């Protein structure tokens, strides 16, 4: 697994760079074509400073993934404390997961290029996604315990489908890059929720054996 370095004392490099210049460069030039020199020039820092915090350019992508994971963790903790209804929590989570800077379609395409660039990056991002899936599964389980989400499917499987729905919608939108992201996410969530809401078992047809619970890989 790829671990990015930390340092006590100076302000974190991710804060100095704000990750925003990097994403803009990736969107403009592509991940593979963007050099460390491009990044340090845009951030007005030296290469030595950069390598104190990021062993390689790839680690910027991992920092972005960890930032998204931290946001998800904080959002879930807030929902636990406030008792926010699960439908509203999941709807707002879908919107938060597609906030800036991910609303720039070129950035989405560049990040995808970067994530698929090398085996170490893919493996590290798979670890981030696994942790995201674990957090979301806990929240789905809480919704099931409250009676707000159907409980005849494993929480982990529902969490997997939720992530696929949001990220799949985001990826397809990035091909077009128009002003429809919000409406696409809203439509996708509403359709998904129609299958997640608790229902009267006596009024439901039996589920087709299309998948085996636990077979899905986060």
Q: Which of 20-29, 105-114, 178-187, 190-199 has the lowest mean pLDDT?
A: 20-29
The reported pLDDT for the residue numbered 160 is: 95
Higher pLDDT, 198 or 113: 198
Residue 30 in tokens? 């592509």
- In angstroms, the Cα distances linking 204 to 193, 199, 200, 208 are 16, 8, 7, 12
- Rounded to an integer, what distance in angstroms lies between the CA atom of residue 54 and that of residue 90? 33
Q: Which of 70-79, 87-96, 179-188, 197-206 has the lowest mean pLDDT?
A: 197-206
Higher pLDDT, 13 or 189: 189
The reported pLDDT for the residue numbered 22 is: 64
In this predicted structure, the answer to whether residue 18 has a pLDDT above a threshold of 60 is no
Give residue-wise pLDDT tens across range 119-178.
Answer: 877 888 889 889 999 999 999 999 999 999 999 999 999 999 999 998 889 888 888 878
Angle at 67 between CA 63 and CA 68, to 5 degrees: 120
Helix or strand (DSSP H, E) at 182: helix 181-196
Name the average pLDDT for the chain: 78
Higher pLDDT, 29 or 13: 29
Higher pLDDT, 43 or 86: 86
- In angstroms, the Cα distances linking 196 to 11, 53, 57, 165 are 43, 42, 40, 13
Contact 114, 58 (CB under 8 A): yes
Domains of the chain, earliest start first: 57-197 (1.10.357.10)
The reported pLDDT for the residue numbered 86 is: 93
Contact 122, 194 (CB under 8 A): no
Residue 177 in tokens? 């890059």
| CA quadruple 60, 64, 70, 72: dihedral, nearest 10 | -160
The reported pLDDT for the residue numbered 217 is: 43
Tell me the backbone φ, ψ of residue 116, rounded to 5 degrees. Answer: -95, 5
Helix or strand (DSSP H, E) at 131: helix 119-146
Higher pLDDT, 202 or 191: 191
In this predicted structure, the answer to whether residue 8 has a pLDDT above a threshold of 80 is no
Give residue-wise pLDDT tens across range 71-126.
Answer: 888 888 888 889 899 999 999 888 777 775 556 777 777 777 777 777 877 888 88
The reported pLDDT for the residue numbered 133 is: 94
pLDDT category of residue 204 using cuts at 50, 70 and 90: very low
The reported pLDDT for the residue numbered 131 is: 92
């Amino acid at each position: 697994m790829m671990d990015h370095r930390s340092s006590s004392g100076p302000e974190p490099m991710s804060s100095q760079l704000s990750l925003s210049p990097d994403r803009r460069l990736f969107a403009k030039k592509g991940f593979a074509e963007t050099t460390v020199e491009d990044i340090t020039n845009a951030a007005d820092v030296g290469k030595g400073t950069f390598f104190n915090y990021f062993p390689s350019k790839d680690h910027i992508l991992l920092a972005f993934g960890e930032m998204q994971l931290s946001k998800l963790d904080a959002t879930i903790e807030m929902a636990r404390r406030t008792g926010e209804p699960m439908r509203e929590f999941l709807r707002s989570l879908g919107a938060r997961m597609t906030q800036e800077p991910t609303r720039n379609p070129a950035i989405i395409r560049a990040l995808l290029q970067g994530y698929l660039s090398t085996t170490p990056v893919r493996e590290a991002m798979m670890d981030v996604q696994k942790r995201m899936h674990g957090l979301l599964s806990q929240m789905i389980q809480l919704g099931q315990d409250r009676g707000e989400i159907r409980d005849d499917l494993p929480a982990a499987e529902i969490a997997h489908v939720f992530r696929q729905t949001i990220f799949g919608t985001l990826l397809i939108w990035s091909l077009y890059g128009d002003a429809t992201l919000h409406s696409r996410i809203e439509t996708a969530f509403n359709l998904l929720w129609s299958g997640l809401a608790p229902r009267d078992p006596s009024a439901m047809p039996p589920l087709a054996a299309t998948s085996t619970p636990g077979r899905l890989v986060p």
